[in-house]
Structure 1
């Protein structure tokens, strides 16, 4: 196999994408995003390509996210380079969201952050028994970007906000329940599924549905469903502080775990994410990622992102020192600043 970070090939009218960094859990680099975007443009215009299938190399991960450690190493002094990465990644996410052909993501393993961005916006998201999904951005001082504001805000009830604020990890049944996944197919059947898609006469999403249905199985009961009423009640509060207070009053194990999870995240990221999902519910996809770009541009000039990466990925002490270090200290005026127009530096899609 080639040592290229992302591989493409075509067979029987199918365009295949392989994220090929298994040792890095297939984390996305800038070049991978640019190359993938160019291939989406090419395949969209090629009538011989009827559908696209994307998967990750190795058995551990589909894609663990973007290569944020490289952004960290550049620091605030390299913010223009960092925003080139984020901007072109968001353009690729938008290209996928608007892709006119069936797009099948085989989510076999870890799916986080950027992995969500190269799967959630396509037509078919197939999970397996090895799928592990989370959006852990608030733990590194970021927000659930890559179109996360648009997608998560459209999860049923308040599930998207729960996913975004707590960083909770989910398996296949939960992914189906939340609407992130469309189908469950055991990993042992993925090769046969790909072969069947190659053999099929694909003219629409419905044709792909029919093929996947031959391989799909029951993923079982979604654990998150047991707490759906509590999630909707707690995360319907009008502020992050209200969510925290509601969870604190609930003494059951689920609520206390959710409460503890929120309290270790970046307070600034929590406030920004809350606002992001609220605002993105009323925006189309492109406007949503433009909003995310504004927020991330200002995050790159601050403290918490670099401190979060240090604590989680560099020193691995998992003891970030957030600034400010409590939720109430993040004012509405500060939040407004992150969402203000960038003027001439706005993302153009």
Structure 2
């Protein structure tokens, strides 16, 4: 028999959600989103469940993001399955952010894209020495969705801009520094933590096992990062990086030049917009517009082909340079969807 893609159970006062596609690093599907949403809806009014705990099966990580191959195939076919998936996923992200009970997300191992949506909006976010957390979207012709623009726009200084534009990933110390996580627990203590949540309030359980987080290298680099990434012009940002006296900045200029020019420009505008939003819901509504516009676009299909399908790591972006991306092209990604809007700001997720 086929294993369920999500395992739902209860242990004492804790409701457990276990992502269960370990061979795919628990990549998220529409079915998984629906199962999680149903469990959370049920537990919200269940007095026997006082804490929710999210983990991933296997040793590799919590979640490697959305099932990108399925989204790619849907884009090639001009289908609508991805729009339905994103709508459900973004509603789930809003549910998690607003959940009325403590939500503990164990961000052990790889946590990318949609995995961040399931965990970084929780109110108790745990990282370990094995955590590798990132939003790799500009490298596949997409942008940091699942509320990523909202989260990264609120990182100290321009650290979130740096991670978003370069598709960067971070480990535990940096994840806490930029606001994607809160607690550092060594992986060998996770079983004890999870067991204790059956009978102990999460803050007390975490305090018993938490360690001092590793130092953040990103915070140490803030001076050159803040100076390089200020403003709304990606071309100027790239020029400042390339001309910097700091070797790491010049190396970053090369990284940035390899990302999808359209993705990078759209991402920066989305970050600056999200910084002014008063709620995650506003950001998710904007991100839904962007997702539908990217879906089936040349750079998204080409990026996934190069990185995931053929794995030649040589995407041919169109346009090929930041200078050639017209502002009206960027603006078109943000245009309203009319009757197709997600509309999260008009209602409650719960």
TM-score norm. by structure 2 comes to 0.95
- 2:228 is matched with which residue? 234
Whether the 8 Å CA contact 1:307–1:320 is kept in 2: the answer is: yes
- Hey, what's the Cα distance between the residues in 2 that align with 1:235 and 1:259? 11
Please give the root-mean-square deviation of Cα atoms over the aligned residues, in Å: 1.3
1:164 Cα deviation (Å)? 0.5
C-alpha deviations, 1:77-127, integer Å up to 9, x for none? 333221111111111111111111111111110011001000010101100
Alignment partners' CA distance in 1, 2:245 and 2:83: 43
1:55-94 equivalences under 5 Å are: 55-94=55-94
The gaps in structure 1 that reach 5 residues or longer are 203-207
Aligned match of 1:281 in 265, 275, 282? 275
Q: Quick one: which of 324, 331, 344 aligns to 2:326?
A: 331
Alpha-carbon distance in 2 for matches of 1:157, 1:290? 24
Secondary structure, counterpart of 2:286 in structure 1: helix
CA deviation digits over 1:144-200, x for unaligned, max 9? 001111111111111111110111221111111112110100010001011222121
- SS of residue matched to 1:65: coil
Distance, in Å, in 2 between the alignment partners of 1:107 and 1:81 is: 28
- The answer to whether structure 1 residue 320 and structure 2 residue 323 are counterparts is no
Matched, 1:222 2:193: no
SS in 1 for 2:4: coil
Shift of residue 76, structure 1, vs aligned partner: 4.4
Counterparts of 1:141-156 in structure 2, within 5 Å, are 141-156=141-156
Query: After the TM superposition, which residues 265-276 of structure 1 pair with which residues of structure 2 at under 5 Å, given as runs?
Result: 265-276=259-270
The superposition leaves residues 244-265 of structure 1 with CA deviations (integer Å, 9 ceiling, x where unpaired) of 0110111433112211111111
Contact 1:76 1:302 in 2 (8 A): no
Q: 1:45: which partner in 2?
A: 45
Gaps of 5+ in 2: 345-350
Partner of 2:347: none
Tell me how far apart the structure 1 counterparts of residues 251 and 100 of structure 2 sit (CA, whole Å).
Answer: 41
Q: Quick check: 215-224 or 274-283, which moved more?
A: 215-224
> Are the aligned partners of 2:112 and 2:134 in contact in 1 as well (CA < 8 Å)?
yes
TM-score by length of 1: 0.95
Per-residue CA distance 1:245-290 (angstroms, 9 max, x = gap): 1101114331122111111110000011001111011122111111
Number of equivalent positions? 343
